[in-house]
A and B are shown apart, each in its own frame.
Chain A
Amino acid sequence: MSVLVLAELDEKGVVPQTRNALAAAVAIGGDIHLLIAGQNVEASAKAAAQYEGVSKVLTADDAAYATGLAENVAELVKSLATDYSHVLVGATSFGKNVMPRVAALLDVQQISEITAVNDADTFVRPIYAGNALATVKSKDAIKIITVRATGFDAVAETGGSASVEAVASTGDAGLSSFVGRELTKSERPELTQAGIIVSGGRGMGSGENFSLLEALADELGAAVGASRAAVDAGFVPNDYQVGQTGKVVAPELYIAVGISGAIQHLAGMKDSKVIVAINKDEEAPIFSVADYGLVGDLFKIIPELTAEITKRKS
């Protein structure tokens, strides 16, 4: 048995969620290879060769892979996949885009967003916005899987010593091209990596009012998130969205402010270790999942909370 994990790259190198996918590969067992596809990937490959559990790093260096276009990356993964029993990727927007294409090219039914590995062909995955957990057994010869990061603790960045080997590029499929990116710039931690998240909902009333949450987040070293309602209303960009179809997070502390708690939002955050809810409506469903609920006016409570934390810290 051998497992191929597809790495995702950003401007800083291999993204952390790749190491969560590697943890799922470790749970499956066997020899683990990590595929790094991109342009000028030497530094990333060198760093990844030290990841715990990886025995070989495969590199595919080609401009065709530089921006992660699904058509090109999928052909590459397909060209390698038949040597493996499992092919895994983190369930990020990159993984979710590429992997089903790989699965169909191989005539395999993908298993999406697994949160547990029972054995080499049996996996647990949430369905219905996490309101049910399905245990599924795959009959396909190759298991194609996306891994939900919150289900697996990332493998260590050091401790391994994998060999690095270049593989042949499959080139540009000529179907799509990259035009540009508008990435949200922030000094705060990335949502899916943050230990603490302060999230705002429709109750925030406007984008300007999110500055209250930002002040609190900065005091806590936290990331800022949002419910779908806040994103739809244009208060914050789309990449802030936590929920069934947005980002799934499980920080140590999740502070939900002015969020009522629709099941679609709960789906994205209910595995957080500690949940705090601040809402003026004491009947809001968010309180039913909150370890600590505080009923009241967020515009009064949030500045008070920020001040109180500043005071206690000093």
Chain B
Amino acid sequence: MKVLVPVKRVIDYNVKVRVKPDGSGVETQNVKMSMNPFDEISVEEAVRMKEAGVVDEVIAVSIGPQQAQETIRTALAMGADRGILVKTDDNLEPLAVAKCLKALADKEEPGMLIVGKQAIDDDSNQTGQMTAALLGWAQATFASVIKVDGDHAQVTREVDGGLETIKVKLPVVVTSDLRLNEPRYASLPNIMKAKKKPIDVTSPEELGVDPAPRLQVLNVAEPPKRAGGTKVEDVAQLVDKLMNEAKVI
């Protein structure tokens, strides 16, 4: 079975993002970029499935500018076998990304797509579910355990009340949640090896996907700031404040 894993290049999770003064977006120039953390978890899971003999080939896909190739290299260094760059300078929305992934899945015929449940830049949480819909496949979102069993998989999902387990038919789109695994650090020899692994380059147009956005971003603003920072001396003063000033207890 092949597994396809999309990996997104996003502003590193440790960076405090700054909104551009003209309200057109956030500052991305000279900002550290990394692989979306949920995608790292997806790559790790796919590689572990390969190591366990459940999967034969792991393909990392990134949709973005030329630099997204670095994100693919990171996935290759973690153990993915080859990469596909869907090169575009447009900022594709989840629906367009899902259409690209559908086109690639039609071609590659993987048994599973493991997609990060959410990208930490636009926080949409849509791409996996949309891809499953377009392919007519089952979906298993917010996964914390994946067990493949013949032509099915049993997936434990993190839901609002706790955990839920479902059984899904393969091929399936799984979206990874935080507790699925702890991604490895790529070793230096593997980083060197990754440089020799192949990366195919295509484009949304070649895949027959219209990259035009459906949502027009009118403005991006900073949220109102909280006036925090006040300290109290001790427990008695804290309780006083909560009872008499804030009146919340």
Cα–Cα, bound, A312→B217 (Å) = 51
Q: How far is the CB of A157 from chain B (nearest CB, A)?
A: 20
A-B pairs with beta carbons under 8 A, tally? 263
Q: Mark A106-128, 1 if CB is under 8 A from B, else 0.
A: 01111111000000001000111
Beyond A103-B130, A103-B133, A134-B219, 5 additional contacts (C-beta under 8 Å) are: A93-B142, A94-B159, A126-B223, A128-B26, A274-B248
B222 adjacent to chain A (CB < 8 Å) = yes
Q: What are 8 pairs between A and B in contact, CB < 8 Å?
A: A100-B94, A104-B131, A131-B222, A140-B214, A182-B163, A232-B179, A291-B227, A291-B228
Tell me if A104 and B249 are in contact (CB < 8 A): no
Given contacts A113-B123, A178-B166, contact A128 B17 (CB under 8 A): yes
When distances are taken between beta carbons in the complex, the residues of chain B under 8 Å from A43 are: none
Q: Mark B141-155, 1 if CB is under 8 A from A, else 0.
A: 110100000000010
User: Which residues 24-73 of B have a CB within 8 angstroms of A?
Assistant: 26, 38
Among B130, B137, B159, B235, which residue has its beta carbon within 8 angstroms of that of A308?
B235
Secondary structure type dominating chain A contacts? mixed
Among B159, B228, B238, which residue has its beta carbon within 8 angstroms of that of A93?
B159
Cα–Cα, bound, A136→B219 (Å) = 7
B188 adjacent to chain A (CB < 8 Å) = no
Cα–Cα, bound, A113→B125 (Å) = 10
Q: How far is the CB of B47 from chain A (nearest CB, A)?
A: 20
Q: How far is the CB of A311 from chain B (nearest CB, A)?
A: 9
Cα–Cα, bound, A111→B218 (Å) = 14
Cα–Cα, bound, A94→B131 (Å) = 17
The 6 closest A-B CB pairs, nearest first, are A100-B129, A109-B214, A104-B130, A104-B133, A175-B138, A100-B126
Tell me if A232 and B139 are in contact (CB < 8 A): no
User: Which residues 124-183 of A have a CB within 8 angstroms of B?
Assistant: 126-140, 174-183
B209 adjacent to chain A (CB < 8 Å) = no
When distances are taken between beta carbons in the complex, the residues of chain A under 8 Å from B167 are: 176-179
A137 (CB) vs chain B CBs: closest residue: B216
Tell me if B160 and A129 are in contact (CB < 8 A): no
When distances are taken between beta carbons in the complex, the residues of chain B under 8 Å from A189 are: none
When distances are taken between beta carbons in the complex, the residues of chain B under 8 Å from A238 are: 144, 158, 162-163, 177-179
Tell me if A104 and B229 are in contact (CB < 8 A): no
Among B158, B164, B228, which residue has its beta carbon within 8 angstroms of that of A290?
B228
